[in-house]
Amino acid sequence: MTTSASAVKTKPEDLGRVTFLDGQGELPMLEITTPWSTAEIYLQGAHVTQFKKKDESPLLFLSQCSRFVEGQPIRGGIPVIFPWFGPREGLGQHGYARLKAWDLKELTQAPDGSVSVRLGLPGCPEASAYPAYTADYIVTVNQSLTLQLIITNQSRDAAFSFEDCLHTYFDVGDVTAIAISGLKGLSYIDTVAGFVEKTETSDTLRIAGEVDRIYPNSTGTVAIFDPRLSRKILVEKQGSASTVVWNPWIAKARRMSDFGDEEYERMVCVESGNVASNGISLPPGGSSNMTVKLSSVTLK
């Protein structure tokens, strides 16, 4: 990903910085500081756990009960879901990419203060069930957070079928007060109701109970209006045909060992991906590119 630069600045405080640290559980992480924002990326799962603009609440939710253990998923932030979404018999939930330590392949500090990090998923035993492929993830931090997941089928003679998703947890002031727009008129699969197909008829989606919905053929921008934190979050995307909205609510939150009993009140997942009927099949040599831009503006 090429980050556009404005007029070159020379002051050290205007340059983006990257610090290599041992994070929670002594897992290696990158701390990124730009003139506008800060972010944290754990190499395990290429997992962005924090993005925060200066003078604003964190954009991402991270559970205080999350495990930071090698080979265990992190609860919150932006898990990278690949090569399957949801459960798969005998193989666990949401694929193996979020459990593997990714390689740091490139680090770019642009003259305008932006920072881009390219991570690559290394080979692993689980990948032997698929044709040869590469998975690259580019995270760009500036006034916004831009995420680019690139999957390339390196096989000469076999198609590569998979699902991918950026399972983004957003921090909100009160989940019952937010309104989610951009989904009206779309069909969705209501997982809570037993995978029944329904149609979104309201201008905005309100959360008043457990929500787990897959919106196929959803390619447009989704906005989260948050009056408690006085901001609007924008989820803009390309190369993503699915949107997933999730909140566990009371009973499920209490059953999750890595999630606080009351934390459902302060989060909502609005996920961008290609799942279920929108799963991708790449021909030999083919490549897919999903780009998601997360930003926020103050509500007047």
pLDDT in tens, 209-219: 999 999 999 99
| Annotated catalytic residue, options 236, 263, 265, 271 | 271
Q: Is 47 a catalytic residue?
A: no
Where do the domains of the chain lie? Answer: 12-298
Extract long-range pairs of 12-18: CB within 8 Å, 24+ residues apart.
14/113, 15/109, 15/113, 16/109, 16/110, 16/113, 16/114, 16/115, 16/141, 16/142, 17/109, 17/115, 18/107, 18/109, 18/115, 18/117
pLDDT score of 300 = 83
Q: Is 56 a catalytic residue?
A: no
| Annotated catalytic residue, options 167, 200, 236, 265 | 167
Report whether pLDDT(28) > 80.
yes
Contact between 228 and 172 (Cβ < 8 Å): yes
pLDDT score of 257 = 96
List, for residues 257-269, the tens digit of each pLDDT value.
999 999 999 999 9
The CATH architecture annotation of domain 12-298 reads Distorted Sandwich (2.70)
Task: Read off the pLDDT of each residue in 171-200 and give the average, rounded to a whole number.
Answer: 98
Report whether pLDDT(253) > 50.
yes
CA separation for the pair 229, 225 (Å, rounded): 9
**Which range has the worst mean pLDDT, 87-96, 143-152, 198-207?**
87-96
46: phi > 0 → left, psi -120 to 50 → alpha, else beta; which?
left
